[in-house]
Amino acid sequence: MTAASFRAPRLLSDDVHDALLKVVLDGTLGPGERLVDDELIAWLGVSRTPIRAALERLSDVGVVELAANRYTRVARPDRASFEEARHLCSGLLAWSALRGDPSASAVRPLDRSVSVAVAPRDVALPDGSEPITLAAFSWLMRQARRVALVPQVGALAHEVDRLEPRLAHAVVARRGRLRPGAWQAFERAAGVAGGPDGRRRAEAVRGLLASIDIEAVEPQ
């Protein structure tokens, strides 16, 4: 077993983390909603220890806010935090695209038909008239990772994994939309995915991330 393929054993706190992240990202728990330990214990059927460990992890990625002896609540994403996370994620993906070797990668080129055959069922219209669904955002991030040749494990994948929930939470909570030209950005990405030009792949990845926006004012 190589270091790159090693995965730590799954913990109970990992299951709690995934369960809490799911209900935040699907909107079941909205921004600002309090997370009470006793209620979470009753819901999840686990002790306080894995719950606190999971909440601390979610706090680290900006999905939950913790204030000792005051509150634990779902974070209220603002435009500044969204822009910061998007800029960081875009930079990491572009760096990966520049240094990646398509000939040595297991990442397959994007299927151009995906934008026509699959995406319109979940992704907002090209003019941005409807909010992006969580499924659509996750799909777009998968395409960005493929163009950037992000490995499935390792430090780079870990950092992108940390940023993606923060972006997803902002997109769901602040009614994210696709900017005009989003589908053109996808077509450009599809055209260079798997190709030898790292600079073009990096530009395409930046275009994909730049196509996602959120409302300036928090929805009521």
Per-residue pLDDT of the chain (220 residues; tens, 9 = 90+): 454 454 667 789 999 999 999 999 999 999 999 999 999 999 999 999 999 999 999 999 999 999 988 999 999 999 999 999 999 999 999 999 998 777 655 445 554 444 433 444 445 444 556 788 888 888 889 889 988 888 888 999 999 999 999 999 999 999 888 888 777 887 888 778 778 888 999 999 999 999 899 986 666 5
What the chain holds in terms of domains, given with CATH numbers, is: 12-74 (1.10.10.10), 79-213 (no CATH)
DSSP β-ladder status, 71-74 and 177-178: unpaired
Entry pTM: 0.82
Neighbours of 18 (CB within 10 A): 11
Are 177 and 131 in contact by the 8 Å Cβ rule? The answer is yes
pLDDT at 11: 84
* Among 145, 109, 123, 121, CA closest to 212: 123
Distance CA 205, CA 94 (A): 6
| DSSP-H helix ranges across 67-194 | 79-99, 114-117, 134-148, 155-173, 182-192
